[in-house]
């Protein structure tokens, strides 16, 4: 039996959105048919060419400038969703700036009447809490929404949920990430959102920083951001999945914005007590050669595929990365 490829839209075409296009290009089970950025969008019945999208975005600032089918719009998401009736699911590779943005986008989908799968790579606990408030509306609208489906939360949180199975009681989940990127401009939202976790900063302050101010800030730290005890949704996701209370989950890491080499190996440590009374720690470490983009977009599409199979069975509403197993996309 041959099944049709899943038709995917990517909202946000910065660092992660472009990586998403590259990841999807060789796949046969998923095709990218829609892309939106802040200034425009493209929608096509057939597969979009990632090289054309990326080069147009780099040279002109928006995929909306693509000749013949690009459309410029300052409300690109609403316009795209209103027109696109062939998209099965969207990856929301959007900045969550302000911290309410992703929930607002979800509400736009609910209002539009579109039915399908949404996947985000949200990071903040409070952002997931906003989605919990609208979970019944998502279910009623026929939307299957998977939240926290990047790397952390995402891949590492799901690994923690699996590792927890060895224990009778979970004492702690400690996530430590190392990210290396060649230049911060490739991932502006990620870096601004990370700065927002530093002492003396918050989301509003980081959002208001100009590119020059971010640049000057990074000059002072030699391009390094060291993050501790972050407000990261891995905690609420593991609590909702019944693994442990949120105060047992901690997330921190180091981001080097001037070097693609990871400053440390990303890992999650899950400590607990077995039924025999032994205390032990499982550690899951990501390969140092894997980039942030690979570890975010890969899982996001794995969860999108899982979301499509839930949606086809009539299962709607809000799910997290620790509740659903991602499926491998060929
Ligand atoms: P980016 O700044 O590189 O790109 C953002 C894109 O969104 C741009 O193309 C921009 O034009 C578009 N955009 C902004 N406002 C828009 C709007 N109103 N309508 C349509 N498009 C709009 O962002 P990035 O660094 O790729 O990060 C995206 C998100 O992924 C961030 O929120 C970041 O925190 C998150 N992230 C999650 C993880 C994880 O492991 N969970 C890891 C890294 C990044």
* Structural domain count of the chain: 2
Measured CA to CA, the distance from residue 39 to residue 71 in angstroms comes to 9
Instruction: Name the β-bridge partners of 168.
Output: none
CA 188 to ligand 1 centroid distance, Å: 8
Residue 216 CB partners (closer than 8 Å, separation 6+): none
Q: Is residue 325 part of a domain?
A: no
Q: Give tens-digit pLDDT for 228-246.
A: 999 999 999 999 999 999 9
Residues 207 and 267 in one domain: yes
Q: Is 27 a catalytic residue?
A: no
Report the pLDDT averaged over residues 281-310.
98
Of all protein residues, whose CA lies closest to atom 13 belonging to ligand 1?
Answer: 38
Cis omega (within 30 of 0) for bond into 98: yes
Q: Give tens-digit pLDDT for 187-230.
A: 999 999 999 999 999 999 999 999 999 999 999 999 999 999 99
Residues 281 and 307 in one domain: no
pLDDT band at 2 (very low <50, low <70, confident <90, very high): low
Q: Is residue 32 part of a domain?
A: yes
Report the pLDDT averaged over residues 260-287.
98
Q: Give tens-digit pLDDT for 101-152.
A: 999 999 999 999 999 999 999 999 999 999 999 999 999 999 999 999 999 9
Q: Is residue 329 part of a domain?
A: no
Q: Is residue 1 part of a domain?
A: no
Q: Is 50 a catalytic residue?
A: no
Rg for the chain (alpha carbons), in Å?
19
Residues 118 and 198 in one domain: no
Tell the residue number behind the tokens 């069975």, with chain if given. Answer: 313
Is the CB of 93 inside a 6 Å radius of any atom of ligand 1? Answer: yes
Residues 267 and 173 in one domain: yes
Residues 15 and 145 in one domain: yes
Residues 128 and 166 in one domain: no
Is the CB of 130 inside a 6 Å radius of any atom of ligand 1? Answer: no
Q: Is residue 43 part of a domain?
A: yes
CA 165 to ligand 1 centroid distance, Å: 33
Of all protein residues, whose CA lies closest to atom 12 belonging to ligand 1?
Answer: 12
Residues 75 and 54 in one domain: yes
Q: Which structural domain range is residue 234 located in? A: 155-290
Full DSSP string of 11-23: E--SHHHHHHHHH
Q: In the chain, what is the straight-line distance between the N-terminal and C-terminal CA atoms, in Å?
A: 16
Q: What angle do CA 118, 195, 90 make, to 5 degrees?
A: 10
Q: Is residue 326 part of a domain?
A: no
Give the pLDDT of residue 174: 98
CATH code at position 84: 3.40.50.720
Q: Is 140 a catalytic residue?
A: no
Q: Give tens-digit pLDDT for 49-95.
A: 999 999 999 999 999 999 988 999 999 999 999 999 899 999 999 99
Of all protein residues, whose CA lies closest to atom 34 belonging to ligand 1?
Answer: 190
* Marked catalytic residue, from 50, 104, 107, 123: 123
Give the pLDDT of residue 44: 87
- Which atom, in ligand 1's list, is nearest to the CA of 37? 21
Residues 107 and 240 in one domain: no
Residues 283 and 297 in one domain: no
Residues 29 and 48 in one domain: yes
- Which atom, in ligand 1's list, is nearest to the CA of 148? 41
Q: Structure tokens of 160?
A: 């923690």
Instruction: Name the β-bridge partners of 154.
Output: 150
Q: Give tens-digit pLDDT for 145-191.
A: 999 999 999 999 999 999 999 999 999 999 999 999 999 999 999 99
Q: Is residue 328 part of a domain?
A: no
Residues 123 and 172 in one domain: no
Residues 185 and 141 in one domain: no
Q: Is residue 274 part of a domain?
A: yes
């Amino acid at each position: 039996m041959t099944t049709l490829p899943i038709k995917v839209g990517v909202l946000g075409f910065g660092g992660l959105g472009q990586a998403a296009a590259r990841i999807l290009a060789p796949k046969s089970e998923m095709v990218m048919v829609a892309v939106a950025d802040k200034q425009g969008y493209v929608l096509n019945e057939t597969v979009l060419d990632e090289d054309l999208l990326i080069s147009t975005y780099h040279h002109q600032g928006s995929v909306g400038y693509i000749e013949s089918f690009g459309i410029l719009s300052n409300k690109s998401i609403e316009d795209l969703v209103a027109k696109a009736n062939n998209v099965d699911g969207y990856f929301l590779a959007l900045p969550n700036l302000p911290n309410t943005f992703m929930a607002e986008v979800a509400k736009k989908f609910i209002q539009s009447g579109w039915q399908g799968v949404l996947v985000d790579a949200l990071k903040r606990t409070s952002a997931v809490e906003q989605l919990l408030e609208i979970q019944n509306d998502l279910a009623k609208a026929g939307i299957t929404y998977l939240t926290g489906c990047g790397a952390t939360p995402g891949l590492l949180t799901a690994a923690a949920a699996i590792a927890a199975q060895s224990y009778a009681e979970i004492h702690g989940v400690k996530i430590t990430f190392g990210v290396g990127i060649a230049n911060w401009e490739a991932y502006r939202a990620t870096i601004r959102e990370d700065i927002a976790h530093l002492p003396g900063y918050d989301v509003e302050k980081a959002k208001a920083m100009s590119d020059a101010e971010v640049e000057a800030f990074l000059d002072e730290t030699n391009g390094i951001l060291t993050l501790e005890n972050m407000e990261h949704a891995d905690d609420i996701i593991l609590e909702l999945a019944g693994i442990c209370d949120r105060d047992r989950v901690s997330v921190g890491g180091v981001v080097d914005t001037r070097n693609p080499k990871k400053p440390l190996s990303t890992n999650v440590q899950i400590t607990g007590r077995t039924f025999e009374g032994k205390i032990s720690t499982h550690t899951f470490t990501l390969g140092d050669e894997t980039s942030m983009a690979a570890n975010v977009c890969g899982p996001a599409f794995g969860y999108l595929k899982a979301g499509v199979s839930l949606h086809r069975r009539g299962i709607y509403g809000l799910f997290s990365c620790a509740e659903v197993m991602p499926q491998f996309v060929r």
